[in-house]
């Protein structure tokens, strides 16, 4: 649920005057995106999304994110395209925040994941990885080891209040992964946060990929591991091998997995589980007065981590 | 911020199949309404609002609310019109909740209130009061004295933890108003919750009145008093007499105020302040685990109550 900044009629009217998108009909705060304020804008011409960047997104990263969306959209990835104003600029200010208008994407994100959704996702993810190849900018993954260590340090004192023994588990996992993390897998632009609420469907056809605000340069197979955790576990933590094998085989139908990527997948999946476990733990332990919504359960990703710790090879994911 | 129930693509597709509103393009949870889940639905024909009624709205009241909106819309009040399905029914079920599709209203609710907004509001409120005259159903005001006493009883033990001495103030006010409350003012259908976020504007022209889920039969002047509190105080609690006199005089331009209504206004305004003070206090003291958003400040209405306690007659509101 994200509307942190209230935009008045006067504000949006002055903002829209700088674009050629038609006249204001309606502006409604929507429950989409966690880091930013998002509005669904209807003009007499079309729907659009207006995003105001709140402080959790670094302003210096915005040219990368906006450039990437424009690049990907130009290569057929169904993602939001920043709309340029009459002055040629896409990024400007609204209510004291950096803000953009982006194109509206049809479809609905899936609340009940079916294997067919996972198959479509695998293909779309591979196409995204290929489409990013000739993007001219790069951004390191802020939520890799250095970031995990920082998050852990900020949670350490109170982690065991969330679950007894959690500190020891996190510390052991950080140590293990630091020694075992691959160093030379195929890498490029990844989305890094492609959870179901960031993927729109019409039936089982993908109509939109959104929320590129964690995208960065990292291993392609790490992005696959994030999706494995986000799409292939059931409500009570059971791994669904049908969904995983559908997702992975349709990914491989577009972009081949190397033997090294296959072999590294269990470790990458542990890392992906640890990443979301740590960020959710941090958010839970550092709730701000007046924050909107309730924090997500970090322990969901502890269960995923436990699963991957018990995996000996990619066959557990339905792969050979 | 209100999306309590997640609606899947399959759910909404099956729901839409019962209507003649076009094919699904998009469905987004919106930050509108506090009691219910609201989605902005785009079909290939038009935007609509889908509302799922959560447990705070009594199912037996829904025919009244829906009937009223339909009645008012038919008399030119710009309010949501329930859309009937192919079977003629407007009210059905979605994800286990009673649910409706209503017409979409253009405009934006005002974040910065100007006197011109208040003038437009006064006129619209009077038109609503007149338009409700021949509506065939009635509903008592659940949030009048009996309701206030119940709320107070449920808050009494902990009210003083919110502000020292609050219990004594509330008790004295309840006793005073019970003795002083008018009994024979002009009455009919009132909205009872016409705060700025329930009124859409295009410039200073009202394009929509929404959220009729507190509407009931009560004194017209009580509805005016609710609006006085909701629209005519500034950020730090200062009363704005320009806004009040604009609102009241434009109301009286459409529906004449009797001498008794004028004279009762300060008491009604105290009652209106007490009503929102008590419901907000209740919500603050009875926050549910997992609730969305943060509770509103009850003390805002204590300051309004204090103001009206010091008022000797309608001249304080810019009226003669």
Q: Which of B220, B231, B219 is nearest to B276 (CA)?
A: B231
Q: Which of B9, B28, B108 sits opposite A27 (nearest CB)?
A: B108
List the structure tokens of A265. Answer: 């997948």
In this predicted model, what pLDDT tens digit does every residue of B75-87 receive, in sequence order? 999 999 999 999 9
Q: How far is A26 from chain B (nearest CA, A)?
A: 5
A6 Cβ under 8 Å from any chain B Cβ: yes
pLDDT for the residue A288: 67
- Cβ proximity of B243 and B230 under 8 Å: no
**In this structure, which topology does domain B9-99 adopt according to CATH?**
Phosphorylase Kinase; domain 1 (3.30.200)
Report CB contact under 8 Å: A108, B40: no
Angle, vertex CA A104, rays to CA A30 and CA A246, nearest 5 = 90
Report CB contact under 8 Å: A201, B30: no
Q: How far is A309 from chain B (nearest CA, A)?
A: 31
pLDDT for the residue B82: 97
Q: Which of A108, A290, A292 sits opposite B1 (nearest CB)?
A: A292
| pLDDT tops 50 at residue B110 | yes
Q: What 3-state class would DSSP assign to B278?
A: helix
pLDDT for the residue B295: 80
Listed by number, the residues of chain B in 189-228 with a beta carbon closer than 8 Å to a beta carbon of chain A are 200-203
Q: How far is A137 from chain B (nearest CA, A)?
A: 32
pLDDT for the residue A1: 47
Q: What 3-state class would DSSP assign to B92?
A: strand
| DSSP state for residue B258 in the 8-state scheme | P
B23 Cβ under 8 Å from any chain A Cβ: no
Q: Where are the domains of chain A?
A: 9-99, 115-317
pLDDT for the residue B291: 53
List the structure tokens of A94. Answer: 């609204």
A16-25, B49-58, B288-297 — most confident range: A16-25
Report CB contact under 8 Å: B30, A32: no
- Cβ proximity of B113 and B91 under 8 Å: no
Residues in B touching A6 (Cβ below 8 Å): 111
pLDDT for the residue B145: 87
- What would the mean pLDDT of B275-302 be, rounded to a whole number? 84
B290 Cβ under 8 Å from any chain A Cβ: yes
HEC profile for chain A? CCCCCCCCHHHHHHHHCCCCCCCEEEEEEECCCCCCEEEEEEECCCEEEEEECCCCCCHHHHHHHHHHHHHHHHCCCCCCCECCCCCCCCCEEECCEEEEEEECCCEECCCCCCHHHHHHHHHHHHHHHHHCCCCCCCCECCCCHHHHHHHHHHHHHHHHHHCCCHHHHHHHHHHHHHHHCCCCCCEEEECCCCCHHHEEEECCEEEEECCCCCCEEEEHHHHHHHHHHHHCECCCCCECHHHHHHHHHHHHHHCCCCHHHHHHHHHHHHHHHHHHHHHHHHHHHCCCCCCCCCCCCCHHHHHHHHHHHCCCCHHHHCCC
Return the residue of A nearest to B288 by Cα.
Answer: A294
B78 Cβ under 8 Å from any chain A Cβ: no
Report CB contact under 8 Å: A108, B31: no
In this predicted model, what pLDDT tens digit does every residue of A148-160 receive, in sequence order? 999 999 999 999 9
Largest CA distance in chain B: 59
Q: Which of B84, B129, B127 is nearest to B102 (CA)?
A: B84
Listed by number, the residues of chain A in 291-310 with a beta carbon closer than 8 Å to a beta carbon of chain B are 291-294
List the structure tokens of A45. Answer: 């011409």
Residues of chain A with pLDDT under 50: 1
List the structure tokens of B69. Answer: 């909106």
Report CB contact under 8 Å: B108, A26: yes
A32 Cβ under 8 Å from any chain B Cβ: yes
**In this structure, which topology does domain B115-317 adopt according to CATH?**
Aminoglycoside 3'-phosphotransferase; Chain: A, domain 2 (3.90.1200)
Spatial distance between the Cα atoms of A195 and A199, rounded to a whole number of angstroms: 7
- What would the mean pLDDT of B181-193 be, rounded to a whole number? 96
Report CB contact under 8 Å: B8, A111: yes
Residue B51: strand pairing partners: B38, B100
A290 Cβ under 8 Å from any chain B Cβ: yes
ipTM for the predicted complex comes to 0.84
Report CB contact under 8 Å: B203, A8: no
pLDDT for the residue B146: 87
In this predicted model, what pLDDT tens digit does every residue of A233-272 receive, in sequence order? 998 899 999 999 999 999 999 999 999 999 999 999 999 9
- Cβ proximity of A155 and A278 under 8 Å: yes
A26 Cβ under 8 Å from any chain B Cβ: yes
- Mean pLDDT, chain B, rounded, equals 94
- Cβ proximity of A129 and A223 under 8 Å: yes
A40 Cβ under 8 Å from any chain B Cβ: yes
Residues in A touching B111 (Cβ below 8 Å): 6-9, 11
Start-to-end Cα distance in chain A: 40
A46 Cβ under 8 Å from any chain B Cβ: no
Residues in B touching A110 (Cβ below 8 Å): 8-9
pLDDT for the residue A230: 97
Report CB contact under 8 Å: A203, B24: no
Q: How far is A157 from chain B (nearest CA, A)?
A: 24
Report CB contact under 8 Å: B293, A1: yes
Q: How far is B292 from chain A (nearest CA, A)?
A: 5
Q: How far is A36 from chain B (nearest CA, A)?
A: 14
Residue A42's φ and ψ, nearest 5 degrees, are -105, 125
| pLDDT tops 80 at residue B26 | yes
A235 Cβ under 8 Å from any chain B Cβ: no
Return the residue of B nearest to A1 by Cα.
Answer: B1
Extract the runs of DSSP E, i.e. beta strands, from B18-110: 24-29, 37-43, 47-52, 92-94, 97-103
């Amino acid at each position: 649920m994200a509307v942190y900044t209230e935009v008045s009629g006067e504000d949006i009217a002055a903002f829209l005057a700088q674009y050629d998108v038609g006249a204001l009909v309606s502006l409604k705060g929507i429950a989409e995106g966690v880091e930013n304020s998002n509005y669904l804008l209807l003009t007499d011409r079309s729907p659009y999304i207006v995003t105001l960047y709140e402080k959790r997104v670094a302003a210096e990263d915005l040219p990368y994110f906006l450039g990437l969306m424009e690049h990907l959209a130009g290569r057929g990835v169904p993602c939001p395209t920043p709309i340029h104003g009459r002055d040629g600029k896409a990024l400007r200010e609204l209510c004291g925040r950096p803000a953009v208008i982006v194109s509206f994407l049809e479809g609905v994100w899936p609340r009940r994941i079916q294997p067919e959704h996972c198959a479509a996702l695998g293909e779309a993810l591979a196409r995204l990885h290929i489409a990013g190849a000739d993007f001219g900018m790069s951004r390191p993954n802020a939520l890799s080891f250095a970031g995990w260590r920082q998050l852990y340090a900020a949670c350490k004192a109170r982690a065991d209040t969330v679950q007894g023994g959690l500190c020891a588990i996190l510390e052991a996992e950080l140590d293990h992964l630091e020694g075992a993390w691959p160093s030379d897998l195929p890498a490029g632009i990844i989305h890094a946060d492609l959870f179901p609420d960031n993927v729109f469907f019409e039936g089982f056809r993908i109509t939109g990929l959104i929320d590129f605000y964690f995208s960065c340069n990292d291993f392609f197979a790490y992005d696959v591991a994030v999706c494995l955790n986000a799409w292939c576990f059931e409500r009570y933590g059971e791994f669904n091998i049908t969904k995983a094998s559908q997702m992975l085989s349709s990914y491989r139908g577009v972009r081949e997995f190397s033997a090294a990527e296959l072999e590294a997948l269990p470790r990458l999946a542990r890392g992906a589980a640890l990443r979301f476990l740590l960020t959710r733990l941090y958010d839970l332990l550092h709730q701000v007065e007046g924050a909107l919504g309730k924090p997500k359960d970090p322990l969901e990703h502890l269960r995923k981590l436990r699963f991957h710790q018990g995996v000996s090879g990619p066959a557990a994911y339905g792969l050979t």
